[in-house]
Homo-oligomer: A and B are copies of this chain.
Amino acid sequence: MPASPELAPPRPRWDDHAATIVASEPLGPHQRLVLAMPTLEARFGPGQFLNLSVPGHVLRRPLAPSRHEGTEVELIVTPFGPGTRDLVRLPVGTRLQALAPLGNSFPISSGDAALVGAGAGAAPLAWLAERLLRAGRTVHVFHGAPSAEDRTLVQTLYERLGLEVRYFSEDGSLGRRGYPTEGLAELLAGGAVATVYSVGPFALMRAAAQLAIAHGRPGYVSLDVHMACGVGACLSCAVQTAAGQKHACVDGPVFEVQEVVW
């Protein structure tokens, strides 16, 4: 079973592009990085990613932009392991290299959209929201975090679009106590005819996917699989799908929720 056509537009070929850090600012525990990528003629779509070099590291790091305007690519990076920790500390002016553009992107829904995210998952989602709004769709955003820590992230990414975000925190310190899938559940239970998009921890995406499936709504997730090459050569990013084993870097990272073996 080939992916549905909207998931697989003819893709520009990737190359290795110079990427200079032109801005770097903390957003709570995350970091907003802006890369200047003057040689990248192709345009990213929301959900696509680049594979970014980090000095002193053998592997690159896959990251999904939150915007691509002119020659500037905006990223949200959450320091996680050694590579992302080093990346967020690099000074403005540092010259990196990025394989781009990689992977597929989210399709634009034909009707309303419900976005369910957490942490840096907000990066591709916010950008998708921008595209959805431009296409005239109604966009519901549910964002989850352990505490109030993602407040600045959400403000930066969504409020510049004029979007209101329903915030869920595990400790109740901001927005509602609980998980963003609760908001999605209520929306769908209320009869909303929305396409579901989710990027975040596996458990969150699975819960969102199950809600979409249960309500017969189309849904898309961006699977976060450990990657080495990012271009289909190493077979590290295996994903089990109804159509057999696929590879997230070339067949994804965006998958239809029905397609994924959860």
Q: A residues within 8 Å of B by Cβ?
A: 55-56
State A56–B56 Cα separation when bound (angstroms): 6
By a CB distance below 8 angstroms, the chain B residues around A56 are: 55-56
Selected A-B contacts with CB under 8 Å, 2 pairs:
A55-B56, A56-B56
The list of the 2 closest CB pairs from A to B, nearest first, reads A56-B56, A55-B56
Copy total for this chain:
2
- Chain B residue at minimal CB-CB distance from A56: B56
State A56–B57 Cα separation when bound (angstroms): 9
- Chain B residue at minimal CB-CB distance from A57: B56
State A55–B90 Cα separation when bound (angstroms): 13
State A55–B91 Cα separation when bound (angstroms): 15
By a CB distance below 8 angstroms, the chain B residues around A55 are: 56
State A56–B55 Cα separation when bound (angstroms): 9
CB distance from A55 to the nearest CB of B (A): 7
- Chain B residue at minimal CB-CB distance from A55: B56
State A56–B82 Cα separation when bound (angstroms): 13
State A194–B138 Cα separation when bound (angstroms): 90
CB distance from A95 to the nearest CB of B (A): 12
State A56–B54 Cα separation when bound (angstroms): 12
CB distance from A232 to the nearest CB of B (A): 30
CB distance from A90 to the nearest CB of B (A): 12
CB distance from A92 to the nearest CB of B (A): 12
State A55–B94 Cα separation when bound (angstroms): 15
State A55–B89 Cα separation when bound (angstroms): 14
State A55–B55 Cα separation when bound (angstroms): 10
